[in-house]
Amino acid sequence: MQSRPQKNVPAKVMTAIGLMSGTSMDGIDCALIRSDGENLVERAGFAEFAYDAAFKRRIEAALEEAKSLDSADGHTETLTALEAEITRRHGEAVAAFLAQEQLSPEEIDLIGFHGQTVLHRPEAGFTVQLGDGGKLAEMTGIATVFDLRRNDMAHGGQGAPLVPVYHRALAQNLPHKVNPQFPVCFVNIGGISNITWIDSSGEMAAFDSGPGNALIDQWVEAKAGIPLDQGGAIASEGGIIAPIAERYLSAPYFTRSVPKSLDRADFEPLDPGEAELADGARTLAHVSAAAILKACDHLPEPPKLWIVCGGGRKNGAIMADLADLARKKNGGEVIACDEAGFNGDAMEAEAWAYLAIRSSRGLPISFPSTTGCSKPVSGGRLAQTGPQPARKHVI
């Protein structure tokens, strides 16, 4: 059983690296924080290590193969080989990141290792992230916390989103230049979009709101052979095709009660023959923004301040639509997280470092109001360096 910190004794401030390879499958994000796992958060270095196009295609192929899985542990031979390669690349990323920050492994307390999601099936009670935490600890010489979603699902949760508790810590320490208009909503627009609603007392609500960049990336890849609509430049030349937008926005997912979470494959890509390049990109950008605003239907009250992070904050069409829709909804303000002094590219990796620290202290990382678990629970497995086998936290 994890021992609880003694009352009135300050919690140890730990130094942790967070590793994130998200649903956009574009590479590995590394972030460094120092935190007590509660309200103290000091953000430090960040680096991105891109996947080459061939390796991204291997992951995309794995998404299809993973659809046949019926448990979190039933990997095929192909997925096992891919997991080894993903782990190796993360180990190399940590080494390069430490060199960049001029740090040694001995100066790092923990790594928070997300791995690469290839299947997320909350209705079946399992999720699959490829990444060997024990091997990563061995490669890096740093204790590694991994498999952070499983315990939540064992307690009836969706396994996602787990970032909200980090958003809450940030919301409670917004810089003076940002008027903290509560409720605040953090929006992460990656391949999938998710939101964290926080009121002035620290109460949270969180869930996946809908497609983020994934549909847009798939569209421009299929139509033009390019990986993404950089800055929304393609969308800026197009118009919204209302019937297509309505088809996506009328999906049953949006009326499902919360908590809820998505797999990348839950929304079908737009067929290449349905639109011209720019019109398709513009329509899908609108879908991403409107899906976020639909989240208000499941919140106690609409946010007054929306703080947008993730790659989607760089898409001008998404941001313009989101700002317009929020203003019409209740006069809400939309800002990119950079305006609040945050690094929008680093926040998910930072969150994984923060979650690793909380896990090591036995603190909850998921809550009934964020994942639907039966009670606040911690989670994760800790892989120590040296010969010890990985061991699971007992919460």
User: Tens of pLDDT along the chain (395 residues)?
Assistant: 333 444 455 689 999 999 999 877 889 999 999 999 999 999 999 999 999 999 999 999 999 999 988 887 778 899 999 999 999 999 999 999 999 999 999 999 999 999 999 999 988 888 999 999 999 999 999 999 999 999 999 999 999 999 999 999 999 888 877 777 899 999 999 889 999 999 999 999 999 999 999 999 999 999 999 999 999 999 999 999 999 999 999 999 999 999 898 887 899 999 999 999 999 999 999 999 999 999 999 999 999 999 999 899 999 999 999 999 999 999 999 999 999 999 988 999 999 999 999 999 999 999 999 999 999 999 999 999 865 444 333 33
User: Do 129 and 198 reside in the same domain of the chain?
Assistant: no
3-state SS, residue 394: coil
Q: Torsion-angle region of residue 266: left (phi > 0), alpha (psi -120 to 50) or beta?
A: alpha
Q: Please work out, in degrees rounded to the nearest 5, the angle formed at the alpha carbon of residue 203 by the alpha carbons of 201 and 208.
A: 145
Could you give the CA distance from residue 312 to residue 189 in angstroms, rounded to a whole number? Answer: 5
* Helix, coil or strand: residue 34: strand
Number of domains the chain contains: 2
Same domain, 194 and 314: yes
User: Which residue type does 121 have?
Assistant: R
User: The domain containing residue 26 runs over which residues?
Assistant: 14-158+374-392
- How does DSSP classify residue 38? S
- 8 A C-beta contact, residue 269 and residue 277: no
Q: State residue 173's pLDDT score.
A: 84
Q: Domain check: are 149 and 18 in the same one? A: yes
CB-based contact 41:18 (threshold 8 Å): no
d(CA 253, CA 208) in angstroms, rounded, equals 10
Same-domain pairing of 136 and 37: yes
In this structure, are 267 and 233 located in the same domain?
Answer: yes
228, 218 contact by CB (below 8 A): no
For residues 205 and 67, membership in a common domain is answered with no
According to the model, what pLDDT value does residue 387 have? 53
pTM of structure:
0.88
Classify residue 167: in a domain, yes or no. Answer: no
Sheet holding 305-309, edge to edge: 204-211, 192-198, 184-189, 305-309, 333-336
CATH of the domain at 248: 3.30.420.40
> Do the domain assignments include residue 3?
no
Is 87 within a domain?
yes
Same-domain status, 186 and 313: yes
Same domain, 185 and 73: no
Please indicate, yes or no, if residue 365 is contained in any of the structural domains: no
**Is 55 a domain residue?**
yes
* Rounded Cα–Cα distance for residues 134 and 137 (Å): 5
The DSSP element (H or E) to which 88 belongs, if any, is helix 77-101
Contact 186, 208 (CB under 8 A): no
At residue 220's C-alpha, the angle toward residues 290 and 288, to 5°, is 10
Same domain, 89 and 185: no
With tokens 């782990």, the residue in question is 87
The answer to whether residue 81 sits within a structural domain is yes
Give the C-alpha separation, 278 to 291, whole Å. Answer: 20
Q: Say how many C-beta atoms besides its own lie within 10 A of residue 223's C-beta.
A: 18
Q: Which residues 6+ apart lie within 8 Å of 284 measured at CB?
A: 211, 215, 216, 219, 235, 248, 270
Do residue 244 and residue 114 come from a single domain?
A: no
Kindly report the CA angle at 11 between 7 and 17, in degrees rounded to 5? Answer: 155
Residue 47, Cβ neighbours under 10 Å: how many?
18
Q: Are the beta carbons of 354 and 346 closer than 8 angstroms? A: no
Place of tokens 């039933």: 74
- Are 180 and 154 contained in the same domain? no
Q: What is the pLDDT of residue 247?
A: 97
Q: Please, which residues bridge with residue 16 across strands?
A: 33, 110
- Residues with Cβ within 8 Å of 365's Cβ and at least 6 positions away in sequence, in order, are 148, 152, 162, 165, 355, 358, 359, 377, 378, 379, 380
Q: Which of 121, 71, 296, 315 is nearest to 215 (CA)?
A: 315
Which pLDDT score, from 0 to 100, does residue 393 have?
A: 35
In three-state secondary structure terms, 348 is: helix
- Residue 277 shares a structural domain with residue 182: yes
In the chain, what is the greatest distance between 2 CA atoms, to the nearest angstrom? Answer: 64
Q: Is residue 349 part of a domain?
A: no
Is residue 293 a part of any domain in this protein?
Answer: yes
